[in-house]
Structure 1
């Protein structure tokens, strides 16, 4: 090996290559791929289900902040609207699916289905026929979809003062109800989410599931873009940033690698 510097030796070994030159080239290639990867996430669901609020939460914004997606009790998204996010992540707010004459195949054509890596189907109550219909069409196209049951904080508040209130039992009841309405799709996961407190309920389970389903580079983009809503999320972001910095240092071919804690 060209250098006996312990840090360089360790870095080359970690890369799986035999020389510093090969390790540097590999690190640079990986760094460029991570920096340039794109991830397109489509958020859809019934009008008023909280699609825009969920997108704002993913962007670390409140609904009233400048640049936030428009929210309201009526349909505010008439055309697919894209919101740029760090790490080349694009969040797409799609039109609502609650119209009486909704047809999933026409809907997917209108919103340019091929644009998206995955779909998150949002509902603030039980999932309806249109949601299941849309999920089936997405399955046919061999794309991934995930169900997000939003406004869980509202459900909890509505029963919190009852005599025998049990939060875990309420959450379990909501999950069971959601699963009954999508059982014809097999056994898809339903994630319970509060857009006003991502650190609670199932948001971390959703992130873990997306990570396991995405490729390495798209997974990296996802984690980099997410807001810090818990210590666990902070640890995820710390891990990917350390890797990014390590690749940048090795790929710069300065002949030395800076160790990061």
Structure 2
């Protein structure tokens, strides 16, 4: 229970909205997290590295249905969009590379591809960074768009030493173009948990608005144990908001399990958790194939019933059990409960305890699967 009271920015944001009785905004925030409405653009010349990067961000391999292919069937001067198979409102946009011609008009390029409409933009390159790309980056920053990043994509067979040399060269280009604090993230698409991608993800999370940041986190694959734990924190904040709404909207305290609305919302949250943590059979099999592991071995690591399948019957059972239990940490619950929901603390507590327990169990399964598949990230 104490986990949900961590100084998590998302939880603090939701609590502030709840205390101000802005319930519609809390509901909207929960919905945004459940559907992960995020548009992420990947800019750069189309090639095997970029296709692999786009697929990796969706947890796919080139052989999977809907994967980006190289060569692409989309004309080279047109954008392509790739929805996530598990989170269909999370869309990856494949934008053509910035032209290397001179003279170059960055405003025309940005207007043509609606550059500023995306929540974040990753500008990729595999060999050398062209000054025109830096010009676009600077134009975006001048338009108050902070969420634009440079990523150096590793080609198959590239050594870390070769990548470091290219990174150093690209940093020199940025300095020459007047960028005061140049940053380039090295990314190996086949193993996103290595090199600089975890740092890139953390930077995007810091730069994006709170809800979008967490929506992005939930839509990306569970790359490392650290990412699994951040997902767990986000789900616990979402559970807190859902439990607060459950407690606050009822004029008369009633057992939570009598409300079909609450049960349905609980099912949606746990289904999202299962998808986000990639615990379903298809995702585990895909991970095993990508990492050369045995699918059966990884599947056996899942011990929580909800990791295998989320059913309304199982969720209502857990809610009923929590409703009968004596509240654990009553003082903590009282502190966490929004002021406008004091009269319905029983409903709040039941939902909080039932769903937090489920999130803990599912996250533990995800940690075991990730550790077995890729090992612990340093």
The answer to whether 1:122 aligns with 2:105 is no
Partner of 1:146: 149
Deviations 1:108-134 (A, max 9, x none): 111123321221100011201222222
Partner of 1:208: 202
Structure 2: how far apart are the matches of 1:209 and 1:242? Answer: 22
Aligned-partner SS, 2:348: coil
Task: Identify the range of structure 1 (93-102 vs 180-189) with the bigger mean alpha-carbon deviation.
Answer: 93-102
Partner of 2:110: 108
Structure 2: how far apart are the matches of 1:96 and 1:16? Answer: 42
The answer to whether 1:248 aligns with 2:242 is yes
Partner of 1:163: none
Aligned-partner SS, 1:146: strand
Q: Once the 2 structures are TM-superposed, how far is the Cα of residue 153 of structure 1 from its aligned partner?
A: 5.4
Q: Once the 2 structures are TM-superposed, how far is the Cα of residue 200 of structure 1 from its aligned partner?
A: 0.8
Structure 1: how far apart are the matches of 2:15 and 2:98? Answer: 49
Partner of 2:58: 59
Q: Once the 2 structures are TM-superposed, how far is the Cα of residue 171 of structure 1 from its aligned partner?
A: 4.9
1:134-213 equivalence runs, <5 A: 134-144=136-146, 145-151=148-154, 154-156=157-159, 167=160, 170-183=162-175, 184=177, 185-213=179-207
The answer to whether 1:80 aligns with 2:96 is no
Q: TM-score, normalised by structure 1?
A: 0.77
Partner of 1:97: 98
Q: Once the 2 structures are TM-superposed, how far is the Cα of residue 241 of structure 1 from its aligned partner?
A: 1.5
Structure 2: how far apart are the matches of 1:49 and 1:187? Answer: 30
User: May I ask how many residue pairs the two structures share in their alignment?
Assistant: 236
Aligned-partner SS, 1:149: strand
Aligned-partner SS, 2:78: coil
Structure 2: how far apart are the matches of 1:81 and 1:175? Answer: 27
Partner of 1:44: 43
Deviations 1:176-219 (A, max 9, x none): 22201111222231100011111111110001100111111011
Aligned CA distance change for structure 1 residues 231 and 116 (closer, same or farther; 3 Å): same
Aligned-partner SS, 2:223: coil
Aligned CA distance change for structure 1 residues 73 and 177 (closer, same or farther; 3 Å): farther
Q: TM-score, normalised by structure 2?
A: 0.55
1:13-52 equivalence runs, <5 A: 29-36=25-32, 38-48=37-47, 50-52=49-51
Partner of 1:161: none
Q: Once the 2 structures are TM-superposed, how far is the Cα of residue 49 of structure 1 from its aligned partner?
A: 7.1
Structure 2: how far apart are the matches of 1:207 and 1:92? Answer: 17
Aligned CA distance change for structure 1 residues 152 and 202 (closer, same or farther; 3 Å): farther
Between 1 and 2, higher relative CO (CA 8 Å, sep ≥ 6) is seen in 1
Q: Once the 2 structures are TM-superposed, how far is the Cα of residue 34 of structure 1 from its aligned partner?
A: 3.7
- The Cα RMSD (Å) is 3.1
Structure 1: how far apart are the matches of 2:69 and 2:132? Answer: 23
Structure with the bigger percentage of strand: 1
Unaligned stretches of 5+ residues in structure 1: 1-5, 157-166
